[in-house]
Amino acid sequence: MKKSLTALAVLGVFAGSAMAADVTLYGAIDTGLEYIHNKTTDFAGDSVKEDKFDMQNGWDTPSRWGLKGSEDLGNGYKVSFKLESGFSSDDGTMNQSGRLFGREAGLTLSGPFGSVAFGRFGGISSSAGTYDMLGYVESFDGGDGDVWGFAASDRYDNMVVYQTPRFAGLQATVQYSFKTDTNEKAADFSGAEGTSDAQRYASIGLSGEYGPAQFAIGYELTKYGSDGTNRKITKDDGHLVFVGGNYDLEVVQLFAEAQYFKGQTAAAGFDATGVDLNPTNNNLLHNALVGVFADPNDVDLSGDEDFKGLKGYGLHVGAVAPLGSGTLTAGLYYVDGSAEFRNADGLDIDTKFWGVSARYNYPLSERTSLYVGAGYAQSKLDISVEGEGSADIKNDTIQTYCGLVHTF
């Protein structure tokens, strides 16, 4: 059960009057097994297969522990906090780059005006934390392991968030990060916080709740940072728009989502940072791209003056339905994107992703459940050079997994 601890017990004895605010300790531990089969087909048509069977954690519910509490200030006002730490339950290591409270760390003042919060939070399309909106539009709330492929935001530092009261079923959320990752330096294309060299993030979202029907629509802007000379993506920002909803028919809850993205560094199974576009054994691409990129044998598109980011769209349909004593969740994802360039005439890079997944959760008690799931995903990267030809890389992934999750 959730454990209520007084602030005195958590923080020790205070001089003067003792505070009576309650602090709640909570968390989840999710551990199990996974089998992953990957098959990659390269430019030359040669295939490389890899099979992995190992212990995993967090397939259903990312393992975490946290502290949260609040104090009633009177007249409808309240101050609250949430500190949440992520960890890997299979080896005990900390997640989120070793941050103590990397999943979320925030202080919130709420009242008749709504709420304003400060700290580290997930973006509205991050599938993480207090302000995530994907739960309205996606059956898995952020994909199922390797089955997703959508462009998305992340958890960000130095965030201020305003959320309105819910009125006539509607609620708006506005976010701004002064620097998305405090650990990033100029060499990572993110300068000092509070300057135009820092990578920044802003979003606005609107959700609606009307009985069995819910919807969400959101827009996210990424202002890419600089190393002092070059921006991560020259003269272009990242844009992401999503819209969707769900409807509960009692026998099944249906989900649908569409997204449009532009200026993104990762989507559709393609990460533009550290990408090897020109294997040395592929003369077609090596010769065609010489002169376009400084080092055609190991191309990192982030920071390249010609790269404008990934542009495309994604579609999702899903369902959640009771089955026996448990719950079945299923989802289908499709993403179509392309890399945009400023000064690379004749070069086309297109990427496509599709995947399908299903998971069954069986409760053993109110706080403990078993789960089993499986999915298939395929990502394909097509590269063509005018006057030279074309080639592609394809990756097929099959995932199966099972696990036990306990919340407290």
Per-10-residue mean pLDDT, the chain, length 408: 44 41 93 96 83 96 97 97 97 95 98 98 96 98 94 97 98 98 88 92 98 98 89 83 98 98 89 54 47 47 70 98 98 94 77 97 98 97 76 91 98
The Cα 393–Cα 380 span in angstroms is 6
Burial class (CB in 10 A: 0-12, 13-18, 19+), 352: buried
| Percent of the chain residues topping a pLDDT of 70 | 85
User: Which element (helix H / strand E) includes 285?
Assistant: helix 283-289
Strand partners, 279: none
Look at residue 346 in the predicted model and tell me its pLDDT.
Answer: 73
263 neighbors 249 (Cβ within 8 angstroms): no
Q: For residue 224, which of 305, 302, 312 has the smallest C-alpha distance?
A: 302
Q: What is the separation of C-alpha 56 from the centre of its chain, rounded to a whole number of angstroms?
A: 19
3-class SS at 288?
A: helix
Burial class (CB in 10 A: 0-12, 13-18, 19+), 294: exposed
Which residues make Cβ contacts (< 8 Å) with residue 168, sequence separation at least 6? none
Detail the DSSP E strand segments found in 189-306: 200-210, 213-223, 238-248, 253-264, 266-267, 270-271
The domain spanning residue 172 has which CATH number? 2.40.160.10
What are the two backbone dihedrals, phi and then psi, of residue 151, each rounded to the nearest 5 degrees?
-70, 145
Q: Are strands 326-341 and 64-74 parallel, antiparallel or unpaired?
A: unpaired
Look at residue 2 in the predicted model and tell me its pLDDT.
Answer: 43
Look at residue 385 in the predicted model and tell me its pLDDT.
Answer: 73
Q: Is the overall model pTM greater than 0.85, yes or no?
A: yes
Note the pLDDT tens digit of each residue in 353-399. 999 999 999 999 999 999 999 999 999 988 887 776 777 889 999 99
Strand partners, 94: 87
Domain that holds residue 86: 3-407
- Start-to-end CA distance of the chain, whole Å, equals 5
- In the chain, the number of structural domains is 1
